[in-house]
Amino acid sequence: MRRFLVFLLLLTVILYFIESNDYIGLGDYKPILEITNVDEKYTLTWSSIPYPAYYEVEILNQAPEKDEDFSVTKPLHRIVKYRTFENSLIINQNFPQSAHLRVSAHGLFHHPLGSYSDFIPIKETNSTNEIMQNKPRSLINYPAHAPSSTTPMLVWTVLPGAVYYEIELLSSQPENPNDIFTSNYQVFISREVFTNGYSINLSTYPSNHLYWRVRALDYGGNPIGVFSDATEIYIDRTLPQNLKPLPNTGYKAANMPMPLYPVYSWIPIAGATTYEVEIASAPPENPNGIQPSRHRIRQYIVSAGSDFYDEIPLLTPGTYYWRVRGLDKSGVAVGVYSDAESFVVNQEIGKYAGTFGDSITHGGGAISYSPADVEYSFQTYLSFPTINLGKSGDTSSSMLNRFDADVLPYHPTFLIIMGGTNSLRGGVPASQVIKELSAVRDKCLVHGIRPIFLTLPPINPEAIMQVFNEETVPDWQKEFAAVNQFIRQQHYYVDLEPYFSDSNNTLPLRYAADGLHFDIEGKKLMAQIINANWATVTQ
């Protein structure tokens, strides 16, 4: 035993000497990091060090400042850290484009051995070039052999971050493809486009052949990319008008359950001023008709727009169907009902985890996007299944009031809770919000649910005022800080706030164009912080 201890001590001394001696050459080691990205699957490889060591790969929230010493990573910059003994790693996560990666080697005593690799921005690993990322693509074509009626439905890919779109109809191919400027051949233009589709009546247009293209705009009306490629439209005036809205929810494609409070989204049709949304308990017996289904269980009249937030939760298990039709000013049907879209209510889905809160939990962002646009839901990027129990407009008080009815039927093992933002910015004191969040926590514990709180990210009152024309109480930062102090005293919590605070302790607009609701980048960052801490708060 004594010989073994002497050997172990001697080995430790030798290793310490090797790692701390600059003449050995380990201090000259700097990993050369290479990354490939295919569909958000990152393959990292780097040069190895000629010494027994492990490697740390860090994903950082932001790039370092030029004068900032990043020899030791500040925790608030680190989203997640991976360790491996190999000089390669595969990461299958959807990180925000603002994230940066680096790698370092570590021995028994020195952290790191040598120096860190250079930072590589996630956005530089994208397989497509920037101009293609910022260029919509047509999803519906009307060639000569398959023409449209006089009311074509034009649909294109969503451009992340677009608040609205500008669509242009042309008499000829544009003279300026891949550009941000309008064409000299323009015959029609509209910026009243708040979703990725547009229905237009061309019955008075003199020609049976034209072109269309579209570009994305930010809140200020500035282009955030180039026009799409010009796409031909051939018109056959003998074809009947096929006026029916196009369902535009993303839950099924993303394999996500409908939120407890459903949101229905569609692409509007020309001539409609209001819409009727119908929810049925079975497939409608009269598809593409104008009469209500005998299976109807709910019906809503919605002012002109492209989505509807249902204020009544759907809790009864089963398969449901929704569809929508347009109405004119007199309430007369414009065209026919859309195709019916099904969704399933299954309380088993929520047995593992639920997300409970206001609109940040419910989803949506970039001003124009609803929870039906799943790219703007942080649940999309979580590494575990959840049921979305969020409700837009919630306060801490309304969360407490609906807890029994909305959470207990699912009885999740874990409940991710973020609430109080609407209360605090409206002037409710932190003490009241803390009281209500405490009551939510206590209800969880009584029913065997583990409450996992998220600290409240800051807001941006100037942006909120500009977009929503809503005042924010002057002392909001003090009140937010008090609630976050309470949350950090809880047994289980994930600290989001430091990642979303700028130098003024407000929310940067790169995360939320309206100063409140996270856009895609914010939702990705939010989810990855939760993912990185999930094992800690659930063990």
Asked whether the predicted pLDDT for residue 448 surpasses 80, the reply is yes
Shortest CA distance to 325 belongs to which of 249, 262, 272? 272
Residue at 239 is within a domain: no
Q: Mean pLDDT for the chain?
A: 89
pLDDT number for residue 67: 42
Q: What is the CATH number of the domain that holds 519?
A: 3.40.50.1110
* Overall number of domains in the chain: 4
Q: What is the CATH number of the domain that holds 335?
A: 2.60.40.10
pLDDT number for residue 257: 93
Cα-Cα-Cα-Cα dihedral of 491, 496, 501, 506, to 10°? -90
The tens digit of pLDDT for each residue in 249-296 reads 999 888 899 999 999 999 999 999 999 999 999 999 999 899 999 999
List of residues 6+ apart from 107 with CB closer than 8 A: 15, 19, 26, 51, 52, 53, 113
The tens digit of pLDDT for each residue in 31-90 reads 888 888 887 788 989 888 877 778 888 888 876 665 444 444 445 578 888 888 888 899
Do residues 507 and 498 lie in contact, with contact meaning Cβ atoms separated by under 8 Å? no
Report how far Cα 355 is from the mean position of its chain's Cα atoms.
14
Residue 164 CA to residue 467 CA, distance in Å, equals 14
Residue at 3 is within a domain: no
Do residues 400 and 439 lie in contact, with contact meaning Cβ atoms separated by under 8 Å? yes
Record the tokens describing residue 282, joined without a space.
């079975």
Residue at 6 is within a domain: no
Domain match, 299 and 220 both: no
pLDDT number for residue 484: 97
Residue at 241 is within a domain: no
Residue 22 CA to residue 27 CA, distance in Å, equals 6
Domain match, 371 and 515 both: yes
pLDDT number for residue 72: 45
Domain match, 218 and 71 both: no
Place of tokens 């990185």: 532
What percentage of residues in the chain have a pLDDT greater than 70? 90
Q: Span 394-415, mean pLDDT?
A: 97
Do residues 490 and 453 lie in contact, with contact meaning Cβ atoms separated by under 8 Å? yes
Domain match, 223 and 162 both: yes
Domain match, 116 and 159 both: no
The tens digit of pLDDT for each residue in 511-538 reads 999 999 999 999 999 999 999 999 999 9
Shortest CA distance to 528 belongs to which of 124, 93, 119? 93
Q: Span 458-483, mean pLDDT?
A: 95
90 CB neighbour count, 10 Å cutoff: 12
Asked whether the predicted pLDDT for residue 488 surpasses 50, the reply is yes
List of residues 6+ apart from 387 with CB closer than 8 A: 257, 260, 349, 350, 353, 354, 355, 410, 412
Distances in Å between the Cα of 256 and the Cα atoms of 99, 252, 374, 385, 404 are 26, 6, 8, 9, 24
3-state secondary structure of 77: helix
- Of the residues 288, 323, 345, which one is the last residue of a structural domain? 345
Q: Span 396-425, mean pLDDT?
A: 97
The tens digit of pLDDT for each residue in 359-373 reads 999 999 988 899 999
The residue among 73 and 381 whose pLDDT is bigger is 381
- Of the residues 294, 329, 345, which one is the last residue of a structural domain? 345
Domain match, 151 and 92 both: no
Domain match, 382 and 448 both: yes
Residue at 467 is within a domain: yes
Q: Which domain holds residue 519?
A: 348-538
Residue at 9 is within a domain: no
**What stretches of 235-332 adopt beta strand conformation (E)?**
246-247, 263-267, 274-280, 296-303, 307-309, 318-327
Measured between alpha carbons, how far apart are the two ends of the chain, in Å? 37
- Of the residues 211, 234, 257, which one is the last residue of a structural domain? 234
Residue at 1 is within a domain: no
Residue at 4 is within a domain: no
Domain match, 339 and 355 both: no
Domain match, 269 and 179 both: no
Best-predicted range by mean pLDDT among 81-85, 328-332, 437-441? Answer: 437-441
Q: pTM value?
A: 0.88
pLDDT number for residue 130: 47
Domain match, 503 and 428 both: yes
Instruction: State the DSSP code for 350.
Output: G
Domain match, 169 and 254 both: no
Do residues 528 and 178 lie in contact, with contact meaning Cβ atoms separated by under 8 Å? no
Domain match, 147 and 83 both: no
Q: Span 132-136, mean pLDDT?
A: 78
Asked whether the predicted pLDDT for residue 345 surpasses 90, the reply is yes
Record the tokens describing residue 283, joined without a space.
């497939």
pLDDT number for residue 9: 60
